[in-house]
Amino acid sequence: MTITDRSVVLSTLGFVLSATALAQNMPPAVVVVAEAEFQQLAPSVDVPGTVVSRFDSRLASELSAKLEWIAEVGTAVKKGDTVARLEPLTFELLEMQAQSRVKREQARVSFLQSEKSRLDRLSEKNLSAKSQLDQTIADLAVAESDHAIARAQLGLAQISVYVTKVRAPFDGIVTERLRNIGERLNVADVVIRIVDPKSLEVVARAPLNTVNFINDGAALQLHNDFRQDQGTVRTIVPFGNPQSHMFEVRLNVDPDIWTVGESVRLSMPTSDVRKVLTVPRDALVLRREGASVFKVNADMSVEQVNVITGLGDGGNVEVIGELNPGDSVVIRGAERLTTGMQVTVQQ
């Protein structure tokens, strides 16, 4: 070995010894940890769904009349509030006409009732013909029938006046005006749309091979690009489409998180639940050679453990490797760790 080679070796050895001494004098790395734990998970498939309101109505006119007023889009209404109004004059006149007809028929009934009472008294004294009494009784029956018909016609007229105001069938928000003030409406013409933003559900269509692994009341994961949450199965439509081999499922969701019309992904289980060891996803160190986690030992040193990932559920993932339930794994601060380094756990 030449003098130059000996100098290079000594310089390298000195650098390594200096780096080792420096590493020994460095303070322990500060990390955040979590425990590996058993969790009930099942394989799942994501299916598309849509957030809808259970109360979404397009209200129509029940009369042929001119639209006099309609609520503005965005107006919050309570059940029974007027959201549109038709011109009522024609129907108010019909109501007055029906009221007059009822009074006329009532007067006729009253007259025939008194006439019958008078003839009854005369008949007891044989002072009136029986045929005249019979005729009065028949006329009274006809008059009472006409009075009942007049009262029914009055009721129909009053209903017409009542329905000149289109009323909200539930609490909600006006989302669409389908006609404008001054337009002539026919019966069944749609006028306005109201949606209840507090009674939400997700409607999704899932493969038939998942129907046996859910039931009413089951909690399923929902997510999209902006948020995630759980939904509770409200109902399962137990009839599959023979062409698409899909069935419909509906879930109750939190109206404070989701909005009507939003697209979501629904995680549907494809087999029975099984018990697996999981760690938080943040514990995974993903490198070219594979996935691993850093386990914190009792002496506060770390050990890199290679793992194979499996099922996932939100923030947790199944791992297979030399880990046990209760082991502490690093979820923050693992970027610069190596096996054997000392760490301090930050609570």
Tell whether the model's pLDDT for residue 29 goes beyond 80.
yes
The CATH number of the domain holding residue 229 is 2.40.30.170
Q: Which of 216, 245, 269 corresponds to the end of one domain? A: 269
Tokens for 47, please give them: 């299916």
Looking at the structure, do residues 245 and 280 belong to the same domain, yes or no? no
In a domain, 319, yes or no: yes
Is the pLDDT higher at 347 or at 274? 274
Residues 296, 254: contact at Cβ < 8 Å? Answer: no
Looking at the structure, do residues 206 and 141 belong to the same domain, yes or no? no
The CATH number of the domain holding residue 150 is 1.10.287
**C-alpha distances out from residue 155 to 66, 94, 159, Å:** 22, 11, 6
Looking at the structure, do residues 285 and 328 belong to the same domain, yes or no? yes
* pLDDT given for residue 8 in this prediction: 45
The CATH number of the domain holding residue 279 is 2.40.420.20
Q: How many domains does the structure of the chain reveal?
A: 3
CA distance 158 to 163: 9
In a domain, 232, yes or no: yes
* pLDDT given for residue 23 in this prediction: 44
In a domain, 61, yes or no: no
Looking at the structure, do residues 335 and 314 belong to the same domain, yes or no? yes
Give the model confidence (pLDDT) of 289-339 as tens digits: 889 999 999 899 999 999 999 877 767 888 999 899 999 999 998 888 889
Give the model confidence (pLDDT) of 165-194 as tens digits: 999 999 999 999 999 999 999 999 999 999
Looking at the structure, do residues 257 and 280 belong to the same domain, yes or no? no
Tell whether the model's pLDDT for residue 9 goes beyond 50.
no
Looking at the structure, do residues 157 and 207 belong to the same domain, yes or no? no
**C-alpha distances out from residue 157 to 67, 74, 162, 170, Å:** 19, 33, 9, 25
In a domain, 135, yes or no: yes
In a domain, 202, yes or no: yes
* pLDDT given for residue 11 in this prediction: 52
In a domain, 4, yes or no: no
Question: How many CA within 13 A on the CB side of residue 144?
Answer: 8
Looking at the structure, do residues 259 and 219 belong to the same domain, yes or no? yes
Looking at the structure, do residues 328 and 289 belong to the same domain, yes or no? yes
Looking at the structure, do residues 216 and 259 belong to the same domain, yes or no? yes
In a domain, 188, yes or no: no
Q: Which of 212, 236, 269 corresponds to the end of one domain? A: 269
Q: Which of 116, 137, 163 corresponds to the end of one domain? A: 163
In a domain, 60, yes or no: no
CA distance 65 to 86: 6
The model scores a pTM over 0.85? no
Give the model confidence (pLDDT) of 44-66 as tens digits: 888 999 999 999 999 999 999 99
Buried b (16+ CB within 10 A) or exposed e, 80-114: ebebbbbbbebbeebbeebbebbeebbebbeebee
Query: Which residue segment(s) compose the domain that 117 sits in?
Result: 88-163
